[in-house]
Amino acid sequence: MADQKAVAARLAPLGFAQAPTQAHLNLPPAALVSHALRRGEGTLTDTGALMADTGQFTGRSPKDRFVVRDENTADSVWWGDINLAFDPAKFAQLHQKMVAYLAGKEVFVRDAYAGANPDYQLKLRVVNELAWHNLFCYNMFLRPETGADTSWTPDFSIICAPGFEADPAVDGTRQKNFAIIDFTRKLILIGGTGYAGEMKKGIFGVLNYLLPHERATLPMHCSANVGASGDTAIFFGLSGTGKTTLSTDPNRGLIGDDEHGWTPDAGIFNFEGGCYAKVIDLSRAKEPEIWDAIRFGAIVENTRFVPGTHTVDFANKSITENTRTAYPISFIANAIEPSVAGAPTHIFFLTADAFGVLPPISKLDKCHAMYHFMSGYTAKVAGTEMGITEPQTTFSACFGQVFLPLHPTRYAEMLGQKMDENPEINVWLINTGWTGGSYGTGHRMKLGHTRAMITAALSGVLTEVHFKQHPIFGVAVPGAVPGVPTEILDPRNTWANKAAYDQTAAELAEKFVKNFEKYADFASADILAGAPKMAVEA
């Protein structure tokens, strides 16, 4: 049991008049695993990882994510469907009810960091009802050095109690589960849900507000790696675009797989101390780094065993397709620690264009980079969800719209400023989707070809080739890429019916423009200049 004076000193500022009698402070992974097993929170797999379920909620609940609206946030937060306003008095009431609920419980307290660059990091304090949630925080946040004094005043705290359910009629929530950020109290309340990712993304949302607002630093929902010569690359992309696969390169060091900041003067840094990877249909052949990281200390969520064994059946979707693993970044052999690097020289926007319209690789100038960054486009295909019978567009501003407390134009303008300040930066749009026609007619881009294009961009050989402008989207398309058939570089050439390509391209361009209408009044002339042309002269 932890020193109760130390625990009380940490919990008193969080509203605990008296620390719970069963309070554990900064336990190591082995102890947390032991407590989780004792409490029936999980089971060990045959690799030593802890398998745990998140309960009713197997993913984030965006409609139950709130931000307290007060004098500090009223004029700065991008209010609407993404950032739902919450009353300060209701937050205070809910806070007290949660503290009272936890007073008689066994709790797990952790001190941690967010941000690998010490000049830009947040000191965190987390109070968990569940032992495995505290292990998740150990894995996902940055860990203080052994013996370090962590009796600090935190910059932000989290109280997470899945067993505590709100009363919507009294507490002001939509339903019994909630995740609420209060930027004035510097506190996140999470209740009624066992999905651990709410804690990780809660702090990401905090950094997406504080870093641009107070530190002139661009937060990014991206993966990042670095070459032997120190050249940094970052990869943006929504689910299904290949972000994890394409940023995982045995010849390059992994900086991080999901969340980074780009400072005014010191390059980029990982927000996290671990990885939270999807594992549906995981295999050692496809993703050996992730496979080998699922060992003692790691967590697997909502997975199931092969019957009669303790071997994880990664193909099992009976609970959810959003099965995941969480492990420290040190479990990846080529991870860079501390997770910092210089400013990127290459930025990749990944899209799985199921319409088969966008080039497999194209280079973006500043205007097109800001426009496509704000658009955050990919497409879902038939068979992925009920009711989808043809490709459907998906737009998520800055490739992470649900995590943006500020208006998307703020982040896009910061990206444009970074490009002005770093003229050596190359921004690429990579289509990992369809070629030779739309989904159902064409076929998926070969992974080997996509890897060859990214390698060519990183190596600098594309500086020697001729580019031509796409007539509708205005992006620059290379005439040749080593290891890639020339005929696939111009998507129109891959279609048997050229008129059908022209019509489909115009339709996709219209979808881009339609999506952007909600931002147009706030966007600068530079951003608007990156829009596609709605019609092309014959």
Q: pLDDT by residue (tens digit) across 451-491?
A: 999 999 999 999 999 999 999 999 999 999 999 999 999 99
Q: Which of 201-215, 259-273, 388-402 has the lowest mean pLDDT?
A: 388-402
pLDDT band at 536 (very low <50, low <70, confident <90, very high): very low
Nearest to 115 by CA among 95, 150, 141, 93: 141
Catalytic residue flag (residue 258): yes
pLDDT band at 419 (very low <50, low <70, confident <90, very high): very high
Tens of pLDDT, residues 233-288: 999 999 888 888 888 888 999 999 999 999 999 899 999 999 999 999 999 998 89
pLDDT of residue 391: 75
Nearest to 362 by CA among 140, 185, 532: 532
Among candidate residues 110, 221, 407, 470, the one labeled active-site is 221
Catalytic residue flag (residue 60): yes
Among candidate residues 54, 193, 244, 247, the one labeled active-site is 244
Q: Which residues of 322-347 are buried (b: 16+ CB within 10 A; e: fewer)?
A: bbbbbbbbebbeebbbebbbebbbbb
pLDDT of residue 125: 98
Mean pLDDT (whole number) for 358-371 = 98
Query: Would you say residue 535 has pLDDT above 90?
Result: no
State how far the alpha carbon of 74 is from the alpha carbons of 79, 136, 171, 173, 470, in Å.
Answer: 8, 33, 21, 19, 42
Catalytic residue flag (residue 201): yes
Average pLDDT, the chain: 94
Q: Which residues of 473-493 are buried (b: 16+ CB within 10 A; e: fewer)?
A: bbbbbbeebeebeeebbbbee
Place of tokens 């706030």: 522
Query: Would you say residue 390 has pLDDT above 80?
Result: no
pLDDT of residue 458: 97
C-beta of residue 373 within 8 angstroms of C-beta of residue 398 = yes
Q: Which two tokens stand for residue 41?
A: 């929170």
pLDDT of residue 26: 97
pLDDT of residue 5: 87
Tens of pLDDT, residues 10-50: 999 999 988 887 999 999 999 999 999 999 999 999 999 99
pLDDT of residue 245: 84
Tens of pLDDT, residues 43-100: 999 999 999 999 999 999 999 999 999 999 999 999 999 999 999 999 999 999 999 9
Please count the helices (runs of H) and the strands (runs of E) in the chain: 14, 29
Cα(97)–Cα(412) distance, rounded to whole angstroms?
A: 40
Among candidate residues 61, 76, 239, 330, the one labeled active-site is 239
pLDDT band at 161 (very low <50, low <70, confident <90, very high): very high
Q: Which residues of 75-85 are buried (b: 16+ CB within 10 A; e: fewer)?
A: eebbbeebbbe
pLDDT of residue 385: 45
Catalytic residue flag (residue 248): no
Among candidate residues 185, 260, 324, 363, the one labeled active-site is 324
Query: Would you say residue 537 has pLDDT above 50?
Result: no
Catalytic residue flag (residue 265): no
Query: Would you say residue 538 has pLDDT above 70?
Result: no
Catalytic residue flag (residue 244): yes
pLDDT of residue 244: 82
Among candidate residues 69, 243, 260, 372, the one labeled active-site is 243
